[in-house]
Amino acid sequence: MTENTFSSFAKTLATLQKLTRIEAGISHAVESSKVPPVETRKFLRAETPEQAANTPLFQFFRRVFRDIGLGDMEIIDVERFKHTYRIRDNPVARMYPEIQGKKTCYVTTDALAQVYAKDLQIVNTSEEVECINEGKEACVFEVNLQPLSVYQMVLDRTDRSLVEEISRRGAADTRVLAEALSLEEEDVEYRLDILSRYHIIDEGGRLTRLGTTYSKYVSGLLIGKEEDFPPPWEHISDVTASIAGVASFAEAFSETVESTPIWEVDEREIINLSEEAKKSKGFAELLSKYINKEKSEEEEE
């Protein structure tokens, strides 16, 4: 008999129960955690992991991930268009103790992708690049940010005014720009550093080709008034409560399983749920795959 990833049907159901609870928690958290652009901008402008970790945005989502059951998340690298996270003692990886040599934390990857896309309004592709279950010391996740989304978010209205002034004058002069826009010179210097980091201006303070393109096209997409609303961490107790509430289904499901009489199971008929789970968006899709597989086998008979 071929050995399956899960040694028993009961163990499989227990794992599905945990996945269901986590995915429901992610769904609740994402729905109630939209971040105002000004806070997303602070996070994107961080130049080091330490700066990013100290933002209210990161601290909030770190707690949310922990409450959901995804583990204690660290941010270990920040680049202009890529953020890297690590989870050392990963409860998701522990859900698959018998899997070796494979990445298993698809649910965490999906959570990061949803947070960036739906809460931060940043188009992205996320992936697990290292996993405890393939022999690594920790699970590591990369979130690759779409450059256009970043440029639309990382510069505010004042930054765009600076770009327009530089375009008209040919080069950046801190004192002249400060007078033209009624800003402190220190503020102008800070903003010019941001423009330089994102290659909008070169070392001489002139617009780069990218800066010229931004001035002509991207900046025009941002003319409308930016949304302003309270950040989700101002009502974190409500978010935490919504996450805790999703446990009810998982608990009821567990009680139902425990009260169900045990029957004989042919392990050859049990699909490798861990492999299918990594390809499925959620519990409903995974269950649908299982049902369709059974229906197909019945039709063949």
* pLDDT band with cut points at 50, 70 and 90 for residue 284: very low
pLDDT for residue 271: 37
The answer regarding whether domain 155-222 maps to CATH 1.10.10.10 reads: yes
233 by Cβ neighbours in 10 Å (0-12 / 13-18 / 19+) ranks as middle
| Same fold: 9-147 with 155-222 | no
**Predicted confidence (pLDDT) per residue in 122-135, tens digit:** 999 999 999 999 99
The letter for the amino acid at 257 is V
Spatial distance between the Cα atoms of 81 and 152, rounded to a whole number of angstroms: 13
Domain ranges of the chain: 9-147, 155-222
Contacts of 292 (CB under 8 A, 6+ apart): none
CATH no., domain 9-147: 3.30.1380
Coil, strand or helix at 60: helix
* pLDDT band with cut points at 50, 70 and 90 for residue 106: very high
Per cent of the chain over pLDDT 90 is: 58
pTM over 0.85: no
Given a cut of 70, is residue 289 above it in pLDDT? no
Arithmetic mean of pLDDT over the chain: 82
Contact 242, 264 (CB under 8 A): no
**Predicted confidence (pLDDT) per residue in 153-162, tens digit:** 999 999 999 9
Spatial distance between the Cα atoms of 138 and 153, rounded to a whole number of angstroms: 31
| Residue 36, both tokens | 């105002």
